[in-house]
Amino acid sequence: METNAVYTEEIVKHTDILCAQEHWLFSYQKEMMKDQLNMHGIVRAVDDENPIPPVRKPRGMGGVAILWHDRINHMVKPQDDGNTRIVVCTISPPFQKKICLINCYLPSVNGTAKKRLYEADLDLLNEIITKYESSHTVMLTGDMNCDLFARKRNSLRKPFINLLKSHNLFVLADGTKPTMILKDGSAQSHLDVFATNYLGMITS
């Protein structure tokens, strides 16, 4: 966020809601993000459960947020569901079914401990989606750190896809094309996902 402020400020001119992953801010800096962009929102940081004081601030890492403009603030309600990697809000558009928007930055899996953390987050997502899916249109987005594009063995792809299927969530980009390609073309992946249980909400 600190290094991409100009780019982010340009983006928010053209959107009502911004879902951000890896904002790299710590707990004491969270309000800065909303103030700088002049938006309402839910911002979670990696140190929310054990805040790091400014004098000991390391290099930025992680973080997830949903931000929205004042013009739709009356329709958006932040929810307590989630954790430092998952944030949830509900939206009540006029004359339409309510929406549950879930934004994630799931952990990269390097070792057994991270794999367990990832699996715990999938369980939490299952609980959240189950809570809202009967009364809301569910929209799940974010960096899932589970490559749907890679052809090599991926132990997390199947559990993640099973989560989507169990809740009838359709991925707008189905994994046949990458969402990220390195500039030199040496690597590509499909980590970024937008899925919903109602495709009729999507116009473009």
Q: What is the pLDDT of residues 99-116, one digit of tens each?
A: 999 999 998 877 777 889
User: For the segment 2-40, what is each residue's pLDDT rounded down to a tens digit?
Assistant: 556 666 778 778 889 999 998 889 888 888 889 888 999
pTM for the model stands at: 0.86
d(CA 200, CA 23): 31
Query: What is 5-201's CATH number, 2.60.40.1250, 3.40.50.1110, 3.60.10.10, 3.40.50.12780?
Result: 3.60.10.10
Three-state SS at 16: coil
Amino acid identity, position 197:
N
Question: Higher confidence at residue 95 or residue 66?
Answer: 66
CB atoms within 10 A of CB 126: 14
Question: Higher confidence at residue 3 or residue 81?
Answer: 81
User: For the segment 38-55, what is each residue's pLDDT rounded down to a tens digit?
Assistant: 999 999 999 888 888 877
Strand pairing category for 99-105 and 192-196: unpaired
